[in-house]
A and B are shown apart, each in its own frame.
Chain A
Amino acid sequence: NAGVTQTPKFQVLKTGQSMTLQCAQDMNHNSMYWYRQDPGMGLRLIYYSASEGTTDKGEVPNGYNVSRLNKREFSLRLESAAPSQTSVYFCASSVGQGDSPLHFGNGTRLTVT
């Protein structure tokens, strides 16, 4: 039982390059999320998917797109990376109800030069 798996673990991009961060969960959870973590800023929600087939913007969606490929997989795409997107990105999943815990992956550390 792997939980939430994120790939890659580390990535360095040049400004303007694109990439997709992959996330998969094996807990049959309905909801999936992408957060970014920056020093002093905590965890900020980028996009979320309440259920398969739906996606919605979070607190900081600009510069990102997402795809809920199926119930297990939720990807995050940076179309044209900027230095401000240097961060640690976490994918999470949950059953979906407001009082159910979030299960996080171990993150992708992204540096944009």
Chain B
Amino acid sequence: QQQVKQSPQSLIVQKGGISIINCAYENTAFDYFPWYQQFPGKGPALLIAIRPDVSEKKEGRFTISFNKSAKQFSLHIMDSQPGDSATYFCAASRAGGYQKVTFGTGTKLQVIP
């Protein structure tokens, strides 16, 4: 039972372009949606997160867009750079109480010069 669906599985973007990764969730009890970034040989690390009381959150070149009615959220990377090449995981959890995070299947992003 996959509660968080992520697409695409892989993505190639030219330097300077926009990278877009999409996720959809099923459990309406989820109310915290983080994105994790993973470089080869390393563990994932928190990149940016959003709660459903806002429709968008921006940190530098990274933006999360959130559509509560559609149960979808996406990560946009503006002006993509080769250093952004990594695997990105969306995730979902319940903010209140004990944390148990459900991850998407991951998107491998390659930014080519």
Contact = CB atoms under 8 A, between A and B. Distances in A.
Main SS class of interface, B? loop
A104 B44 contact: yes
Interface of A: 4, 31, 35, 40-45, 48, 50, 58, 90, 92, 94, 96-107
A16 B31 CA distance: 42
Contacts of A50: 98
Contacts, number: 71
Contacts of A104: 43-45
B6 A42 contact: yes
A45 B89 CA distance: 14
Given A45-B100, A48-B100, A99-B32, A40 B105 contact: yes
Nearest to B2: A42
Interface residues of B, number: 29
Nearest to A94: B99
B9 A40 contact: yes
Nearest to B44: A104
A42 B43 contact: no
B93 interface: yes
A43 B32 contact: no
A42 B3 CA distance: 12
A98 B45 CA distance: 16
Contacts of B66: none
A65 to B, nearest CB: 19
Interface in B95-113: 95-106
Given A97-B99, A102-B101, 12 more contacts: A41-B105, A42-B6, A43-B44, A45-B100, A45-B101, A45-B102, A58-B100, A94-B99, A96-B98, A97-B97, A99-B95, A102-B36
B103 A42 contact: yes
A107 B42 CA distance: 7
A42 B99 contact: no
B32 to A, nearest CB: 5
B11 interface: no
